[in-house]
Amino acid sequence: MNRLGLLANRSRGDTPEPGSQQGHRNTFGTSHGRPIDVQLLDGEGDLTPEFETCLAFIFSKYCSPPPISRPLDWLSASGPDRPPPPSLEWIPKNAFMSDEALDQWATDTNGSPMSDDMKEEVKDSIDTNDKGYLTFSGLLQIYQLQTSMDEEETWRDLASHGFDRNLELAPTRREELDYSAKEEDKDENEQKPDASA
């Protein structure tokens, strides 16, 4: 297995289940009193729109340039009446994660930054920009590979960023979004010139 495969199948251990297909096992149990039936991969092995939106939110916390807005309505919604995920047009087309941002993402996700060798493997194998920085498309590639190999690893990564098994943010993370949105509104209002002056 190459080093990129190791990235997708880190040392937290395998969780094979007989007769199951990676990315398609989240069909039992409950979360917040509701049945769980959220998939990370579709029947073709591609990322589901809900999973892509969660990854876009995670990417948006580390990317440059940062997005002008985030789909806070979708991210803060929960329950059976949650709307379909929005398009991903809110992620800037030229957005990337610098090496420092990549280290911060890896630390927030797994507790430690990526090794230099691992960064080089990512740059050689995954979608990066001209400067070798990870793009959103590259992050999607990482998670498609990881999820197809070890779905539980992906669920742990999502949990470290506040998502539950319904791909909903934990209530405390939703409160952070509400606070963040209020701060953004406050900053915008302070920057607007006073029309009455």
What confidence tens digit (pLDDT) does each residue in 142-171 have? Answer: 999 999 999 999 999 999 999 999 999 887
Residue 137 has pLDDT above 70, yes or no: yes
Residue 176 has pLDDT above 80, yes or no: no
Kind of pairing, strands 134-135 and 96-97? antiparallel
Residue 64 has pLDDT above 70, yes or no: yes
Tell me yes or no: is domain 41-75+90-178 CATH 1.10.238.10: yes
Residue 105 has pLDDT above 70, yes or no: yes
Is 4 within 8 Å of 126 (Cβ atoms)?
A: yes
Proportion of the chain above pLDDT 90, given as a percent: 56
Q: What is the pTM (predicted TM-score) of this model?
A: 0.75
Mean pLDDT, to the nearest integer, of 98-110? 96
